């Protein structure tokens, strides 16, 4: 009898856990991580059989062929983990997250094709706009308030809709551009996903929180293989497009919710600033690369090795060190935000971000110059070694002929 009572108590506790939002998000996080870890070895084997590996080129930070379809496991694990639950507590959020799956699926197939065949940039842009429009036009998700930055508050739909589409396209491509070394895009996405997910959960937006934690769990599982030496895989365009889309979705929804609940104690009236700070690495790096290319008289869309992660590698860092440096920049920026946001206006915070961007530019320039000097020293040392070997070889031949 006591055993039956104990079993009933355990069943009741189990049901309570399954109906508690915090535990549900934790379970989704763990399930996404598990699905990614178990599916990636299969994807690696299939890409080996089909010979679908990423071949190194002049921009590559790797020297051997590596599978690049990690985005397939990220996509699958997010869907499996997110739809474990009914998501009925917030119908509006549930509708938006369901619409986001439409956009994710569009970008999933776009990324798969781009990872196999090189697509025309205009076609890629068209499908990115289509994916973003599923949320903006059908879901009504848009940024229509600038939170007093330079005195600007409410804006009309004629401005907010194209501006929000621009935000989506910019972030999708910014994340795609930083996906150049092991762990960088995945690590930044993990930090931002956990941060957005925690805020959504604390403010009872369970469907959004579950999606954010599902994405974070899938990225954690992916990073285990992305840093592996024996079973390495890249997320490819498939993964980076999905990641950029979801981060844009979370950022815009976070900003939008802080407009709706601006009288709530948990609201951030500086929500746009915090969103930028969480995504400071892809935003700053993309702006820096475009500016450098324009100043050098080249197209801002022409690929090169001017990204900050390339500069860090050229200064002697390995992939983990370079990625950890950029992760640290994100964490420090977020901590700086929380130390100051109560004491400054949004306009002042925006100007501070502009100042930090110029510091970022200066750091990139100094590191680039240092890398060039190191490369010249190494090249000169190599020339001298070759000259020394040739001199010794010539001397030996002369001695033998005497």
The pLDDT profile of the chain, 402 residues, written as one tens digit per residue, is 455 554 454 455 445 555 678 999 999 999 999 999 999 999 999 988 887 776 666 555 666 788 889 999 999 999 999 999 988 778 888 999 999 999 999 999 999 999 888 888 899 999 999 999 999 999 999 999 998 899 998 999 899 999 999 999 999 999 999 998 999 999 999 999 999 999 999 998 999 999 999 999 999 999 999 999 888 999 999 999 999 999 999 999 999 999 877 667 667 888 999 999 999 999 999 999 999 999 888 888 887 888 999 999 999 899 999 999 999 999 999 999 999 998 999 999 999 999 999 999 999 999 999 888 777 665 554 555 555 565 566 556 656 665
Count of domains for the chain: 1
DSSP state, residue 317 = -
Q: Does residue 344 sit in helix, strand or coil?
A: coil
Residue-range definition of the domain harbouring residue 176 = 2-269
CA angle 128, 222, 197 (to 5 degrees): 65
CA angle 34, 40, 46 (to 5 degrees): 150
Residue 189: inside a domain: yes
The answer to whether residues 263 and 153 touch, using CB atoms and an 8 Å cutoff, is no
The answer to whether residues 259 and 268 touch, using CB atoms and an 8 Å cutoff, is no
Residue 351: inside a domain: no
Residue 150: inside a domain: yes
DSSP track, 153-180: EE--HHHHHHHHHHHHHHHHHHHHHHTT
CA–CA distance, 28 with 23 (Å, rounded to integer) = 8
**Residue found by looking up tokens 């299969």 in the block:** 42
The answer to whether residues 107 and 245 touch, using CB atoms and an 8 Å cutoff, is yes
CA–CA distance, 122 with 343 (Å, rounded to integer) = 44
Residue 305: inside a domain: no
Residue 340: inside a domain: no
Residue 312: inside a domain: no
DSSP track, 24-68: HHHHHHHHHHHHHHHHHHHHHHHHHHHT-EEPP-TT-S-SS-EE-
Residue 85: inside a domain: yes
Residue 341: inside a domain: no
């Amino acid at each position: 009898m006591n055993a039956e009572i104990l079993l009933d108590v355990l069943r009741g506790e189990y049901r309570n856990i399954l109906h508690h939002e915090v535990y549900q998000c934790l379970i989704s996080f763990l399930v996404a991580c598990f699905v990614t870890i178990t599916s990636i070895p299969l994807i690696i084997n299939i890409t080996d059989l089909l010979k679908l590996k990423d071949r190194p080129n002049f921009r590559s930070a790797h020297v051997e062929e590596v599978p690049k379809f990690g985005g397939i496991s990220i996509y699958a694990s997010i869907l499996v983990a997110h739809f474990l639950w009914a998501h009925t507590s917030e119908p509006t959020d549930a509708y938006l997250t369901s619409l986001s799956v439409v956009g994710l699926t569009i970008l999933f197939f776009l990324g798969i094709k781009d990872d196999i065949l090189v697509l025309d940039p205009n076609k890629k842009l068209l499908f990115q706009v289509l994916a973003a429009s599923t949320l903006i036009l059908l879901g009504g998700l848009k940024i229509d308030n600038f939170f007093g930055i330079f005195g600007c508050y409410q804006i009309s739909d004629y401005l907010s809709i194209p501006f929000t589409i621009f935000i989506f396209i910019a972030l999708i491509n910014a994340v795609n551009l930083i996906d150049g070394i092991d762990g960088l895009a995945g690590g930044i996405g993990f930090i931002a996903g956990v941060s957005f997910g925690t805020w959504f959960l604390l403010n009872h937006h369970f469907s959004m929180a579950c999606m954010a934690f599902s994405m974070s769990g899938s990225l954690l599982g992916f990073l285990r293989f992305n840093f592996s030496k024996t079973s390495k895989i890249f997320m490819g365009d498939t993964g980076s497009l999905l990641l950029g889309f979801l981060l844009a979705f979370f950022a815009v929804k976070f900003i939008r919710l802080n407009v709706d609940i601006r009288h709530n104690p948990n609201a951030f009236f500086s929500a746009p600033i915090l969103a930028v700070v969480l995504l400071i690495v892809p935003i700053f790096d993309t702006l820096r690369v475009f500016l450098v290319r324009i100043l050098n008289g080249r197209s801002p869309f022409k690929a090169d090795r001017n990204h900050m992660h390339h500069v860090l590698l050229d200064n002697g860092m390995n992939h983990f060190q370079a990625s950890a440096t950029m992760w640290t920049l994100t964490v420090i920026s977020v901590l700086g935000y929380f130390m100051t946001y109560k004491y400054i206006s949004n306009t002042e915070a925006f100007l501070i971000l502009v100042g930090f961007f110029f510091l970022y530019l200066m750091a990139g320039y100094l590191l680039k110059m240092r890398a060039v000097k190191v490369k010249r020293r190494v090249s000169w040392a190599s020339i001298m070694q070759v000259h020394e070997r040739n001199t010794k070889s010539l001397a030996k031949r002369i001695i033998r002929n005497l």
